[in-house]
Chains A and B, each alone.
Chain A
Amino acid sequence: MGLGKTLALKGLTLIVVLISVLLFTVLIIGASGLSDRVLSSIMNEELRGIRQKLTTQIRDPEELNRAMDEIKQDLVKAYGLDKPWYARIPNMILRIVTLDLGSAREVQTFTGSNRISDIILERIPNTILLMTSALIINFVLGLVIGPRIALRHGTKMDKAISLYSAISYALPTWWLGMLMILFFSFKLRIFPFGGMYSVPPSEDTFMRFLDLLWHVMLPLITLVLALSGSWIYITRSIVLSVAQEDFVSVARVKGLPEDLVRRRYIVRVAASPILTNVVLGLAGSIAGAILTEIVFDWPGMGTLYYKAVMSVDESLILALTYIFTLIYVLARFILEILYVVLDPRVRL
């Protein structure tokens, strides 16, 4: 019973988060007049489509204009543009949730569609590919190196890695990416300047895969270099504080083998706070993803966000803000489940 209830509560909190972000977003875009602009642009696009259809049926330009005016008035009503922005809140939320935000101004999918939902669906896998690879590598590095240096606390190795962590915390991932390009792509010319595949992409699946590996290398190295430091440091300090607990000393005094003490008394106990920090680190990695993708021109959500900001595409920015929040909330929920499974104490 306890497990189900805990998860339900966590889920509920996250849903509240999602709804409040949506409400917050809608309030801001409504009050700033942004929603008027977004809706008008959707409406104008629809009007253009209708006009094209009608020109084949109605020849007389005056009659056409009259018909268009009528349709426009209907649409203004249908979109709620005749009402103040706060009356449209539920409708607007529904639009954002279903990504029914019309089409992007400049960005297109590879197949040429510029519907926002199509574009986002195409980009999400690319982001997940880059971010999960980086996340897994960093997690493993943290888990392997962190406990090791924690148990050799105070040695030169420990100090060197702590210093590395401090610097990597202060290192903007995106700037490191620029340096990597400057050095490896511009100076040494051994890695591509960016993108995901060479142009034109190879026909052969295996060659395509190799090409992808070649392209993903530099962003991946950047993400690992910039973020592994804090991962290692987190695990180190958690393990360190667990290792100083009384029950660990008791286990040692009992004469249990050191290996067993480490595995069962230290690492097992440290696992759940480490996971908590994974959860907390997630926000940072999403932010890092946006900027790293931009630097490496990785065709993911981050680059899309940047292009949306650059081309002042309100609808796309809105959709992406929602999607990023959604991904974040979902990822957190998955981690919460893991957390509950790992640490029985969390169950209510």
Chain B
Amino acid sequence: MSFIRESFSEFWASNISKIGILFLAILVAVSIYTVTTLPLDFGVRYWYNPVYWVDYPKSAQPEWINIFLSEKLMSHVELSISKASGIKPYNNRFIKYYNVSYNHECNQFPKFITLRISDLLFYRRDSPPIVRFYVTRPDGRTIELYTLAIETISSNATPPFRYFSMEPKRILLSGDIYLARSLVSFLYREFNISLGTSGVLEVGSEKIIFGSIGGDNTFTPLIGRYVFSAVLICSDVNDGIGMFNVVLGGYVYGLMGTDVLGRDLFQGLLFGFPIALIIGVGVSLLTTFIGAGLGIVSGYIGGRVDDFIQRFADTINNIPLLPLLILLSFIFGGRLWLIIFVLVFFNWPSLTIIVRSMVLSAKASQFIEAAVAIGASRLRIMVKHIFPQVAPFVFAQMIFFTPYAILAESALSFLGLGDVTMPTWGQILEYGFKNGAVFLGYWWWILPPGLFIVYSAVTFVFIALGMEPVVNPRLRRWK
């Protein structure tokens, strides 16, 4: 035990090991945070499901970029309300208001505008509700945006009737023809401008809704408070909307921006942490276990067993890994377990060869002779006496192997052969590269995934370097 304590204090003495351990702690903490906050099937359910990301801005820069810009870019906005802001009777029906307000402060128009309704609930089969959408601008003018009518229920279903509960009703206002017509009359009524529907669509509905009109019919963003309202006209007082959302597409989004599909890179990058950790630790654990085990057996037992293991190891050790890895992933499809298996299969031999040579010298020492003399079994000698001799070296190799596995997996992912059920950093980079992120200058898509790969790899390199003085330097093997 004192041996371990001594080794540890020697390890802890260098700054590089402290940094390594700190990095590792962060890596593990982020992984645990990710696993507990994101669902485990995040990849299939969200990341690779383009529908989930439709209302996110595409290729948006991270939000904090505004700190460095003199002309601020519009942030992505999602407003929501789930309780009616007001109710009043209307003839023998009711009107419920769902209002959300938004303060437009930047000198830009939204990229797109989407309205969403979920969980529409009503009780009267013969008179379903009608939803009208309006926006009131800072200048007090109101525009009618859209009308949603629900068909009467003809089936035998019993009330309450529930609509849009599985999937919300999504209304994309940009390019919508009804809105365009409404805007034509709005412009004529309020500003005495006659612009046809095609003219409105050409200018863009967002620009008219969010714009004030200049001299020669140019639109400049109108700063101030906008109120979006969904007005529910219903026959039963209990009818209602579960959730009303307004999405204003921005130019910057979140901490890490979005990719070309609008996927929030922050979530994808976060999910990369536990996967990198699993691959790194899984591969290195298995590799060292097999490599060291066979090395000890080969060295201690000797004879034919030794010959066989060594020839086998030699052959595998000479095979260039990447081409075969590509072929295998191509044939069997990228699966995490397959990648781990192949990395282990092709990498144990180098460790076996070195451990064997170390065992050979340990075998000749007197305490082994003594152990044999008192009748210890071969297994006992290997586990109790030989293994402790090579343990520090094997442990160092295990640490040193982790970054290799992380890098190999990301390389495979970059080739498009990664596990398609979960996002990894390599896959995010691959998708970015394939979509020309490098050539379009989408740095926020390229920089962070690579930095995280380097971060997680360097963590283990630092720990391995810190272990250098503990392990006999002459027995090191360099990659």
Note whether A and B form a binding pair.
yes
B320 near A170 (CB under 8 angstroms)?
no
B331 near A29 (CB under 8 angstroms)?
yes
A186 to B439, CA, bound (A): 6
Which B residues are in CB contact (< 8 Å) with A294? 414-415
A291 near B315 (CB under 8 angstroms)?
no
Question: Is B438's CB within 8 Å of the partner chain A?
Answer: yes
Digitize A212-245: 1 where CB-to-B-CB distance is under 8 Å, 0 elsewhere. 0000000000000000001001100110110000
B318 near A332 (CB under 8 angstroms)?
yes
Question: Is B450's CB within 8 Å of the partner chain A?
Answer: yes
Contact of B416 among A286, A290, A309 (CB under 8 A): A309
Scan residues 225-276 of chain A and give those whose CB is less than 8 A from a CB of chain B.
230, 233-234, 237-238, 240-241
A238 to B322, CA, bound (A): 27
A318 to B323, CA, bound (A): 9
A181 near B438 (CB under 8 angstroms)?
yes
Tell me if A's interface is mostly helix, strand, loop or mixed.
helix
A320 to B330, CA, bound (A): 13
A287 to B473, CA, bound (A): 28
A142 to B258, CA, bound (A): 41
Which A residues are in CB contact (< 8 Å) with B320? 283, 286-287, 324-325, 328
A166 near B465 (CB under 8 angstroms)?
yes
Contact of A283 among B321, B439, B441, B458 (CB under 8 A): B321
A309 near B415 (CB under 8 angstroms)?
yes
B403 near A169 (CB under 8 angstroms)?
yes
Interface centre among A166, A175, A241 (most CB of B within 10 A): A175
Contact of A321 among B327, B438, B473 (CB under 8 A): B327
B332 near A32 (CB under 8 angstroms)?
yes
Known contacts A20-B315, A172-B450, A179-B447: A291-B414 contact under CB 8 Å: yes
Nearest neighbor of A320 in chain B, beta-carbon distance = B323
A280 near B441 (CB under 8 angstroms)?
no
Scan residues 395-430 of chain B and give those whose CB is less than 8 A from a CB of chain A.
403, 407, 410-411, 414-417, 429
A14 to B320, CA, bound (A): 12
- Chain A nearest CB from B451 CB (Å) reads 9
Digitize B455-479: 1 where CB-to-A-CB distance is under 8 Å, 0 elsewhere. 0011001100100000001101011
Contact of B479 among A29, A280, A306 (CB under 8 A): A280
A284 to B403, CA, bound (A): 14
Known contacts A167-B454, A317-B327: A295-B473 contact under CB 8 Å: no
Interface centre among B320, B414, B438, B457 (most CB of A within 10 A): B320
- Chain B, interface residues (CB within 8 Å), range: 35 or more
A178 near B446 (CB under 8 angstroms)?
yes
Which B residues are in CB contact (< 8 Å) with A24? 324
A34 to B327, CA, bound (A): 11
Question: Is A17's CB within 8 Å of the partner chain B?
Answer: yes
Nearest neighbor of A282 in chain B, beta-carbon distance = B320
A25 near B414 (CB under 8 angstroms)?
no
Known contacts A324-B323, A325-B319: A170-B331 contact under CB 8 Å: no
B453 near A172 (CB under 8 angstroms)?
yes
Question: Is B178's CB within 8 Å of the partner chain A?
Answer: no
Tell me if B's interface is mostly helix, strand, loop or mixed.
helix
A14 to B315, CA, bound (A): 8
A166 to B403, CA, bound (A): 11
A289 to B327, CA, bound (A): 17
Nearest neighbor of B440 in chain A, beta-carbon distance = A186
A187 to B443, CA, bound (A): 10
- Chain B nearest CB from A344 CB (Å) reads 20
Which A residues are in CB contact (< 8 Å) with B440? 186
Scan residues 319-346 of chain B and give those whose CB is less than 8 A from a CB of chain A.
319-324, 326-328, 330-332
Known contacts A29-B331, A193-B439: A309-B453 contact under CB 8 Å: no
Which A residues are in CB contact (< 8 Å) with B465? 162, 166
Contact of B446 among A179, A283, A291, A332 (CB under 8 A): A179
Question: Is B433's CB within 8 Å of the partner chain A?
Answer: yes
Which A residues are in CB contact (< 8 Å) with B447? 179
- Chain A nearest CB from B432 CB (Å) reads 8
Which B residues are in CB contact (< 8 Å) with A234? 478
Scan residues 286-317 of chain A and give those whose CB is less than 8 A from a CB of chain B.
286-287, 290-291, 294-295, 305-306, 309-310, 317
A16 near B323 (CB under 8 angstroms)?
no
A230 to B458, CA, bound (A): 13
Contact of B450 among A166, A178, A291 (CB under 8 A): A178
Nearest neighbor of B447 in chain A, beta-carbon distance = A179
A321 near B324 (CB under 8 angstroms)?
yes
A237 near B323 (CB under 8 angstroms)?
no
A237 near B478 (CB under 8 angstroms)?
yes
Digitize A198-211: 1 where CB-to-B-CB distance is under 8 Å, 0 elsewhere. 00000000000000
A281 to B322, CA, bound (A): 13
A224 to B323, CA, bound (A): 22
Question: Is B6's CB within 8 Å of the partner chain A?
Answer: no
A276 to B236, CA, bound (A): 84
Question: Is B314's CB within 8 Å of the partner chain A?
Answer: yes
A318 to B326, CA, bound (A): 10
B454 near A172 (CB under 8 angstroms)?
yes
Question: Is A171's CB within 8 Å of the partner chain B?
Answer: yes
A145 to B350, CA, bound (A): 27
Nearest neighbor of B433 in chain A, beta-carbon distance = A178
Which B residues are in CB contact (< 8 Å) with A167? 454, 458, 461
Known contacts A20-B315, A172-B453, A283-B321: A233-B478 contact under CB 8 Å: yes
A238 to B473, CA, bound (A): 10
- Contacts A/B (CB < 8 Å), 6 sampled: A32-B332, A167-B461, A186-B441, A193-B439, A281-B479, A305-B326
Starting from the known contacts A172-B453, A287-B320, 15 additional A-B residue pairs (CB-CB under 8 Å) come to A167-B461, A170-B453, A175-B429, A175-B450, A178-B438, A237-B473, A287-B322, A294-B415, A295-B433, A309-B326, A310-B416, A317-B326, A318-B327, A321-B327, A332-B318
The 5 A-B pairs with the shortest beta carbon distances in the complex, nearest first, are A170-B457, A175-B450, A287-B322, A324-B323, A170-B458
